[in-house]
C-alpha cells in the first residue's frame, strides 16, 4: 500500500502535468490536499528533481522535466522508498531479513521478488503524461 504522502505527490505532479505552472494554493484547492502538507511534499519533490519553483507574486511550481519522463515508480521511490515489500526483495535497498535462515532458498523471498517485479513493471511504464494518470490517484 502506498502512503497518503505518495498519493498526494502523484496528484500534485499530475496536476502540474495537465495544467503547467501552479501555486501551492491552486494545487491544494484543486486536488483537495492540505496546504501545509503539500508545502512539505513539494519541497521534497524539488529536492528529488521533479519540480522547480519560482518565488514572488507569479511564483509557483512547474515540472522540472517532461511529464513523459517521470514515472509513477520514480515518484513512489522518492516518497516511500523501495517498491519491494521486504528488504530482501529490494533492488535498491537490499538487506537480508533479520530472521532469514537461507536467503537463496527462501520461498517467501521468491514470491516477494515476483511481486516487486510485477509492480515495478506497471509503475515504471506509467508516466505523468499517460491518459490513465488523469484518473484520480486513490
Residues of each domain in the chain carrying CATH 1.10.10.10: 4-63
Q: What is the pLDDT of residues 19-44, one digit of tens each?
A: 999 999 999 999 999 999 999 999 99
Q: What class does CATH assign to 4-63? A: mainly alpha
Q: What is the pLDDT of residues 88-119, one digit of tens each?
A: 888 888 887 778 777 787 888 888 899 999 99
pLDDT the model gives residue 66: 97
Per-residue pLDDT, averaged over 11-15, amounts to 97
Q: Dihedral sign for Cα 130, 137, 43, 123, please.
A: negative
At residue 119, what are phi and psi to the nearest 5 degrees?
-65, -45
* Buried residues in 47-69 as b, exposed as e (16+ CB within 10 A): eeebbebeeeeeebbebbeebee
Give, in degrees to the nearest 5, the angle at Cα 119 between 118 and 121.
Answer: 65
Per-residue confidence band for 136, with pLDDT thresholds at 50, 70 and 90: low
Q: What is the pLDDT of residues 55-76, one digit of tens each?
A: 877 779 999 999 999 999 999 9
Amino acid at each position: 500500500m502506498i502512503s497518503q504522502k505518495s498519493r498526494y505527490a502523484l496528484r500534485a505532479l499530475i496536476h502540474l502535468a495537465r495544467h503547467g505552472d501552479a501555486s501551492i494554493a491552486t494545487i491544494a484547492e484543486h486536488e483537495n490536499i492540505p496546504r501545509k502538507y503539500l508545502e512539505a511534499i513539494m519541497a521534497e519533490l524539488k529536492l528529488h528533481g521533479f519540480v522547480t519553483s519560482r518565488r514572488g507574486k507569479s511564483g509557483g511550481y512547474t515540472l522540472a522535466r517532461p511529464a513523459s519522463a517521470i514515472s509513477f515508480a520514480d515518484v513512489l521511490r522518492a516518497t516511500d522508498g523501495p517498491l519491494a515489500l521486504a528488504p530482501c526483495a529490494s533492488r535498491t535497498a537490499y538487506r537480508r531479513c533479520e530472521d532469514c535462515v537461507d536467503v537463496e532458498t527462501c520461498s517467501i523471498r521468491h514470491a516477494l521478488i515476483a511481486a516487486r517485479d510485477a509492480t515495478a513493471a506497471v509503475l515504471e511504464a506509467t508516466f505523468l503524461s499517460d491518459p490513465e494518470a488523469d484518473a484520480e490517484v486513490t
